[in-house]
């Protein structure tokens, strides 16, 4: 892909962009012609709505508001949309014409890349979200946070009628999401064999994890499948879904 505008950040970029974060970049036209320093402020990052709102500005452009919106279409497909609002005084028309050309050019390039990727979809490096509704959002979050040591990564309230919390570990390849919709009951786990299994091969680490769960008030229960009692211990969350702490490696 031929470079039209290259932005070189002045600092090391974070692994996860925080809302409210700000960076400054040196800008180069066609990758070689310098034309100043650009400030980019991430005003809103909403992983549920799949939207990022930024405000950008430099000595020539007072305001370049950029909304990125991604809408799922079907399995393996999404719709990507850029919405731009520009304020640059007497330069606004010229900047608007440049933005029209630039984003159309970039979208064409991205569509070509997407076609090549979609021809050979590989989920082996995908990040996994395990999403589940609950009638007991606060209690479930407390279990996975306090007993299992998960970190609250994101939470939302009344998003199209839903409240939700995402829990995980920074850098892990998975996270959990629990949601609740007012007036909609989902009930408890349908069986005692709906499991999340965590493999801890180190005996001391495994023992410490089990003791932590018990210390905050959750007792182990007999596994529905006795296999999990041989090298592990099973705990039940407030909805009746079960978590196995298995003293083994994977693949076992």
Cα 191 from Cα 199, distance rounded (Å): 22
> What is the reported pLDDT for 76?
67
Whether 75 and 95 map to the same domain: the answer is: yes
Is 251 part of any domain? no
Q: Residue 48 is part of a domain; what is its CATH number?
A: 3.30.530.20
Cα 90 from Cα 96, distance rounded (Å): 11
Whether 200 and 171 map to the same domain: the answer is: yes
Q: Residue 240 is part of a domain; what is its CATH number?
A: 3.10.180.10
Is 231 part of any domain? yes
> Domains in the chain: how many in total?
2
Whether 183 and 201 map to the same domain: the answer is: yes
CB 30 within 8 A of CB 4: yes
Is 33 part of any domain? yes
From 118, 152, 182, give the residue that closes a domain: 118
> DSSP state, 12?
P
Whether 195 and 104 map to the same domain: the answer is: no
Nearest by Cα to 43 from 17, 11, 24? 17
Whether 18 and 108 map to the same domain: the answer is: yes
Tokens of 87: 């304020």
> What is the reported pLDDT for 25?
86
Is 101 part of any domain? yes
Whether 111 and 167 map to the same domain: the answer is: no
From 90, 118, 146, give the residue that closes a domain: 118
> What is the reported pLDDT for 1?
45
Tokens of 164: 């939700």
Whether the link from the prior residue into 72 is cis, omega within 30° of 0, is no
From 67, 95, 118, give the residue that closes a domain: 118
Whether 62 and 167 map to the same domain: the answer is: no
**Low-confidence residues of the chain, pLDDT below 50?**
1
pTM of the model: 0.57
Is 87 part of any domain? yes
> What is the reported pLDDT for 235?
98
Whether 135 and 77 map to the same domain: the answer is: no
Whether 140 and 233 map to the same domain: the answer is: yes
The residue range of the domain holding 21 is 5-118
Burial 156-169 (b: 16+ CB within 10 A, else e): beeeeeebbbbbbe
């Amino acid at each position: 892909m031929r470079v039209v505008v290259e932005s070189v950040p002045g600092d090391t970029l974070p692994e996860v962009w925080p809302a409210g974060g700000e960076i400054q970049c040196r800008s180069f036209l066609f990758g070689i012609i310098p034309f100043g320093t650009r400030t980019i402020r991430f005003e809103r990052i909403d992983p549920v709505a799949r939207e990022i709102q930024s405000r950008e500005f430099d000595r020539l452009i007072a305001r370049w508001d950029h909304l990125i919106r991604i809408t799922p279409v079907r399995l393996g497909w999404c719709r990507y949309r850029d919405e731009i609002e520009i304020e640059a005084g007497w330069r606004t028309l010229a900047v608007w014409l440049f933005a029209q050309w630039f984003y159309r050019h970039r979208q064409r390039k991205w569509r070509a890349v997407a076609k090549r990727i979609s021809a050979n979809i590989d989920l082996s490096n995908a990040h996994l979200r395990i999403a589940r509704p609950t009638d007991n959002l606060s209690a479930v979050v407390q279990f996975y946070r306090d007993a299992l040591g998960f970190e609250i990564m994101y939470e939302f309230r009344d998003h199209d009628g839903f409240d939700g919390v995402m829990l995980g570990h920074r850098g892990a390849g998975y996270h959990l999401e629990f949601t609740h919709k007012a007036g909609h009951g989902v009930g408890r786990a349908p069986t005692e064999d709906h499991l999340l299994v965590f493999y801890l091969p180190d005996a001391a680490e495994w023992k410490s994890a089990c003791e932590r769960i018990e210390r905050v008030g959750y007792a182990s229960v007999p596994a529905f499948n006795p296999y999990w009692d041989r090298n592990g211990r099973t705990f039940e969350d407030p909805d009746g879904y079960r978590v196995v702490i298995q003293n083994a490696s994977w693949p076992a």
